[in-house]
């Protein structure tokens, strides 16, 4: 573990054990690209980052609820008006449902505007005796199984930066233009909600929006005009450290360094070693930082990581994202939760009910009969959320939010939900290159069920 006295710089991670980093054959080309990115404007501001940190601290005290969601991986091809708008719509609709259920203000965080790089369990992939680097996301290499496509290309980092900026620009314009105006939730309807078994329940909520608005306004102590604007924050898995350090800067009139590629970077399960390069990098930035916590996390590692990231025990700084799976959370989570609580560490607990519940099924009928397909069961996702609420309640701690992989599209990637998507339905509209996401209706349904669970008792 680096001691707090060890000097930090945006490059100090280089002398720590690194994992999951692409190997670029042309180091000079990478350096040129990083210098170019390093001279470009930041994607977010330190002011926004500090505002998010303050909101996260409120959520940890139970005064807010965090809705964090988006694709497992963004793709360059999906940087389109329709895909971005439908992602915003589903997050807005879910937050509308959650505000009614929880009676709390909602902080919306997108897994977007930078969620391009993916961790992989193997460095290489072998097909028919040919071994090539694994596909690591659109800002690293290309998915086609050829040597040229799979070779990491530094140009893609710049394209990823630009795609992030385009996404963010459109999100900000939509929000500023009144798209997110809570007074007009009827504008957010997506066509197929009309055919959903949940349509009536959702309509009831839209009809009672007036009441919920008044409620929010009284909570916020704000006027109608102030309530019209709804903010979105951005987040992505902090993976390619060379890219992240090129966007890590000092800003006038504020102490310290900020990673200005996103508001809330998180460290994934495969890179969260307490003495590793990713933790070292995050130690020196002022952003709030997420850390995934799973069945393999030990009490010692977790305490060590939290103390390294937050030596001053700053509220809102460390977000611990639990992802155990419905079958393991009951056994594996409480000891970790108690240890953090008993050590008096300020953390923000969020439940990710997706990544511990991934499984492979083999449909027996339909186009994919006999093939292995990666999926998740809605029942398991819901069960993990419900157990997370129960465990926090029992331990006297706060579940501050949820972190979900979803899309605003009508895909068939996860099994179950009110429409009863079956294994044999998966082939119909399975579009994810990586993890299976909740579709629009399943995401809205999950929000409704969480809202019931989170209702003040």
User: Which residues sit at the interface with ligand PEP, rule CB under 6 A?
Assistant: 72, 119, 237, 268-270, 292, 323, 355, 435
Q: What is the residue-wise DSSP string for 136-192? A: --TTT--SSSSHHHHS--THHHHHHHHHHHHHHHHHHHHHHTTTT-TT-GGGG--GG
The listed partner (ligand PEP, Co ion, none) that binds 119, CB under 5 to 8 Å by sort, is ligand PEP
For ligand PEP, the closer CB: 57 or 351? 351
Piece of the chain touching Co ion by CB under 5 A; list 53-61, 72-80, 249-257, 388-396: 72-80
For ligand PEP, the closer CB: 272 or 308? 272
For ligand PEP, the closer CB: 70 or 185? 70
Question: Minimum CB separation from ligand PEP for residue 72, in Å?
Answer: 5
DSSP tag of 22: -
Distances (CA, A) of 48 to 53, 266, 403, 430: 9, 17, 20, 35
Q: Are strands 248-250 and 289-293 parallel, antiparallel or unpaired?
A: unpaired
For ligand PEP, the closer CB: 167 or 212? 167
Residues in the chain: 457
For ligand PEP, the closer CB: 42 or 119? 119
The listed partner (ligand PEP, Co ion, none) that binds 106, CB under 5 to 8 Å by sort, is none
Q: Is 72 in the site for Co ion (CB under 5 A)?
A: yes
The listed partner (ligand PEP, Co ion, none) that binds 269, CB under 5 to 8 Å by sort, is ligand PEP
DSSP tag of 438: B
The listed partner (ligand PEP, Co ion, none) that binds 74, CB under 5 to 8 Å by sort, is none
Number of residues that bind Co ion (CB under 5 A): 2
For ligand PEP, the closer CB: 207 or 296? 296
For ligand PEP, the closer CB: 196 or 301? 301
Q: Quickly count helices (H) and strands (E) in the chain.
A: 14, 14
The listed partner (Co ion, ligand PEP, none) that binds 62, CB under 5 to 8 Å by sort, is none
Distances (CA, A) of 246 to 3, 34, 117, 238, 329: 24, 6, 16, 13, 37
417: alpha, beta or left, given left = phi > 0 and alpha = psi -120 to 50?
Answer: left
For Co ion, the closer CB: 88 or 321? 321
Q: Is 43 in the site for Co ion (CB under 5 A)?
A: no
Q: What are phi and psi of 408, to 5 degrees?
A: -80, 5
Among 435, 447, 450, 451, binds Co ion (CB under 5 A): 435
For ligand PEP, the closer CB: 101 or 268? 268
The listed partner (ligand PEP, Co ion, none) that binds 338, CB under 5 to 8 Å by sort, is none
Rounded to 5°, angle at Cα 155 from 30 and 136:
90
For ligand PEP, the closer CB: 295 or 334? 295
- 397: its two tokens: 């701690």
In which residue are the tokens 């190997």 written? 23
3-state helix, strand, coil in the chain (%, to 5): 45, 15, 40
3-state secondary structure of 80: coil
Q: Is 138 in the site for Co ion (CB under 5 A)?
A: no
Residue in 359, 378, 387 with CA at minimum distance from that of residue 418: 378
Q: Are strands 348-351 and 232-237 parallel, antiparallel or unpaired?
A: unpaired
The listed partner (ligand PEP, Co ion, none) that binds 445, CB under 5 to 8 Å by sort, is none
Distances (CA, A) of 298 to 68, 209, 226, 293: 25, 44, 44, 9
Piece of the chain touching Co ion by CB under 5 A; list 153-161, 282-290, 407-415, 434-442: 434-442
Question: Minimum CB separation from ligand PEP for residue 294, in Å?
Answer: 6
Q: Are 315 and 57 in contact (CB under 8 A)?
A: yes
Piece of the chain touching Co ion by CB under 5 A; list 150-158, 256-264, 327-335, 428-436: 428-436
The neighbour count for residue 142, using CB atoms within 10 Å, is 16
For ligand PEP, the closer CB: 103 or 270? 270
- 326: its two tokens: 């419905």
The listed partner (ligand PEP, Co ion, none) that binds 323, CB under 5 to 8 Å by sort, is ligand PEP
Q: Please give the residue whose beta carbon sits closest to ligand PEP in the complex.
A: 268
Kindly give the interhelix angle for 81-102 and 209-220, rounded to the nearest 10 degrees.
80
The listed partner (Co ion, ligand PEP, none) that binds 401, CB under 5 to 8 Å by sort, is none
- Count how many Cα atoms sit within 13 Å of the Cα of residue 35 in the half-sphere of its side chain: 6
Positions touching Co ion (CB under 5 A) are 72, 435
């Amino acid at each position: 573990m680096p001691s707090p006295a060890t000097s930090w710089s945006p490059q100090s991670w280089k002398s720590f054990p690194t994992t999951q980093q692409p190997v670029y054959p042309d180091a000079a080309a990478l350096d040129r690209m990083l210098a170019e990115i390093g001279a470009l404007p930041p994607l977010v501001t330190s002011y926004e980052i500090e505002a998010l940190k303050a909101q996260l601290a409120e959520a940890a005290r139970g005064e807010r609820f965090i809705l964090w969601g988006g694709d497992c991986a963004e793709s360059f091809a999906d940087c389109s008006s329709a895909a971005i708008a439908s992602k915003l719509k589903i997050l807005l609709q879910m937050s509308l449902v959650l505000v009614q259920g929880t009676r709390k203000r909602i902080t919306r965080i997108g897994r977007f505007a930078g969620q391009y790089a993916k961790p992989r369990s193997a460095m290489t992939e072998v097909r028919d005796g040919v071994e090539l680097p694994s596909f690591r996301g659109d800002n690293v290499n290309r998915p086609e199984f050829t040597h040229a496509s799979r070779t990491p290309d530094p140009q893609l980092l710049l394209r990823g930066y630009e795609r992030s900026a385009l996404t963010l620009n459109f999100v900000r314009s939509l929000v500023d233009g009144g798209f997110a105006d809570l007074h007009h939730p009827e504008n957010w309807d997506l066509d197929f909600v009309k055919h959903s078994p949940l349509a009536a329940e959702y309509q009831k909520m839209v009809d009672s929006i007036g009441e919920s608005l008044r409620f929010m306004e009284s909570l916020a102590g704000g006027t109608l005009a102030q309530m019209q604007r709804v903010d979105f924050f951005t987040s992505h898995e902090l993976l390619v450290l060379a890219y992240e350090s090129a966007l890590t800067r000092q800003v006038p009139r504020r102490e310290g360094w900020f990673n200005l590629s996103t508001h809330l970077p998180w460290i994934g399960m495969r890179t969260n070693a307490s003495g590793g390069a990713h933790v070292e990098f995050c130690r020196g930035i002022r952003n709030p930082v997420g850390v995934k916590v799973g069945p393999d996390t030990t009490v010692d590692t977790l305490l060590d990581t939290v103390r390294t990231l937050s030596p001053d025990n700053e509220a809102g700084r460390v977000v611990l994202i639990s992802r155990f799976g419905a079958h393991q959370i009951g056994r594996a989570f409480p000891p970790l939760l108690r240890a953090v609580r008993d050590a008096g560490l300020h953390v923000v607990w969020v439940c990710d009910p997706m990544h511990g519940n991934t499984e492979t099924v083999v449909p027996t009928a339909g186009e994919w009969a006999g093939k292995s397909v990666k999926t998740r069961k809605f029942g398991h996702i819901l069960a993990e959320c419900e157990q997370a609420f129960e465990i926090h309640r029992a331990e006297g701690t706060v579940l501050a939010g949820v972190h979900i992989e979803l899309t605003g599209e009508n895909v068939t990637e996860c099994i179950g939900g009110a429409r009863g998507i079956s294994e044999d339905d998966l082939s119909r509209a399975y579009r994810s290159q990586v993890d299976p996401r909740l579709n629009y209706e399943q995401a809205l349904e999950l929000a409704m069920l969480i809202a019931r669970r989170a209702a003040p008792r």
